Structure 1
Amino acid sequence: MKMFSCVKQMSALLPGIACFHTSSVASAWSGRPGGPRKWLSHNKKIYPPQLPDEEPRPAYVCHMKANIKYSPWKMWYIACLVRGLSVEEAVKQLSFVNKKGATYVRDTILEAQNLAVEKHNVEYKTNLWVAESFVGKGLVVKGIRRHARARHGLVEYFHCHYFVRLEEGKPPEHYYPYQRELSGQELLDKWLTKMRSRKITNSL
């Protein structure tokens, strides 16, 4: 308290001196401290009743964890790892990933699993799979790093948002279209297209 009063007196005597900020970084951030809100609004969407001959619409739940103190570029690899996996398999795989971001992803998936059972009428919590898993860039705190000869450099502390959507049912056999096994004719057509698209260097 004495230090704060001394700084306040010095700033009154010297108008050019900067005053210290005692508030937290999140509250002083001009953006949204709680992170994006649009992703969670998908849980409030109400669908019309389905006809008896229509295919049943699987239940889903969207969840997120905002402003994680972790690089979004490092988190991207972990988010891609769990796509298309069942919840049990995703948690199992993340337990072997020796990265800090894997803990946040695992906790977020387990929280979404509990929300699906408690608030979204999912009967079995094991009957869920990761339909979407991606990362967004969050809060960036800029600071100064001291260098030699009274110089300084800029340092940035990155945060990220992690988004996940769990869907009811069994995961697909191939999450990405290119993972599908091609037939013999498709492999032949692909090879012919590749051969015909060749070009001789320095030719007409």
Structure 2
Amino acid sequence: MIIRCNIIRHLGCRNVFTSSSVFTYHKNFESAKDPFPTPKRWLQMNDYMLEPQSPDEPKRRAVYYHVRDNIKYSPKKMWYICCLVRGLSVDEAIKQLSFIPKKGAVLAKEVLEEAQEKAMATGLFEFKSNMWIGQCHATKGVVFKGIRKHARFRMGEIRCFHTHLFYALVEGPPQENYYFPGPLTNKQRLDAYVNWLRERRITHSI
């Protein structure tokens, strides 16, 4: 009788339990899950405390991490936009995005301007124009699925993709060569050639 009363009481609490999860333990708190998960660790990097520096060490560059979640745009299309602005100064990236007739460029420019304003609000950056994009990437967000009717009573699946856009703004001028090292000077090319000659191995020798 006690077991039956407990089951009836659990069945009445449908806001926490479901009828299928009464006899299972790991499904009791499925209703507490976020239906639209958002990135949380990226913004937590702004709260990290680094160890203090000595007076002889050079000053660290300020870094601000920003993200906008679940943008209605394909992450595969946003990848091209991220490759364009990565490694540029913020002002130059805004100029470049202004001339691209794509929806992703408009969204990326809006998020970049928002990140710039929030970075200045932190008080870590001295000048608004003295920052560059150290990291920029996009990941897949929530995906909504639907159906589309076809001929002969058939159905097709529709997927509406969303993307998370991440920015990391770094204080100072941008790097001269972000993706690849720059061209070697004549002295560096000569030293590399001499080292290659010295590292040769002559087979069947002493």
Query: So what's the TM-score if we normalise by structure 1?
Result: 0.73
RMSD: 2.0
What is the Cα deviation at residue 33 of structure 1? 2.6
* Within-5 A mapping of 1:89-108: 89-108=92-111
Check whether the contact 1:144–1:152 (CA below 8 A) recurs between aligned residues. yes
Query: So what's the TM-score if we normalise by structure 2?
Result: 0.72
Check whether the contact 1:61–1:120 (CA below 8 A) recurs between aligned residues. no
Give me the whole-angstrom Cα distance separating, in 2, the residues matched to 1:67 and 1:153: 24
- Which amino acid is 2:78 matched to? M
* Within-5 A mapping of 1:56-67: 56-67=59-70
Unaligned runs of 5+ in 1: 1-27, 193-204
Q: Look up the match of 1:112.
A: 115
1:30-64 Cα offsets, whole Å, 9 max, x none, are 65636111100011111122101111101010001
Identity %: 46
Q: Look up the match of 1:149.
A: 152
Give me the whole-angstrom Cα distance separating, in 1, the residues matched to 2:153 and 2:147: 12
The 4+ residue runs of structure 1 with deviation greater than 6 A are none
Greater C-alpha radius of gyration: 2
What is the Cα deviation at residue 183 of structure 1? 4.3
1:178-202 Cα offsets, whole Å, 9 max, x none, are 4x1134638x96xx9xxxxxxxxxx
Q: Look up the match of 2:173.
A: 170
Q: Look up the match of 1:200.
A: none
Give me the whole-angstrom Cα distance separating, in 1, the residues matched to 2:76 and 2:151: 30
Q: How many residues align?
A: 160
Give me the whole-angstrom Cα distance separating, in 1, the residues matched to 2:122 and 2:185: 44
Q: Look up the match of 2:133.
A: 130
SS in 1 for 2:61: coil
Decide which of 39, 42, 46 is 1:43's aligned counterpart: 46
Check whether the contact 1:133–1:164 (CA below 8 A) recurs between aligned residues. yes
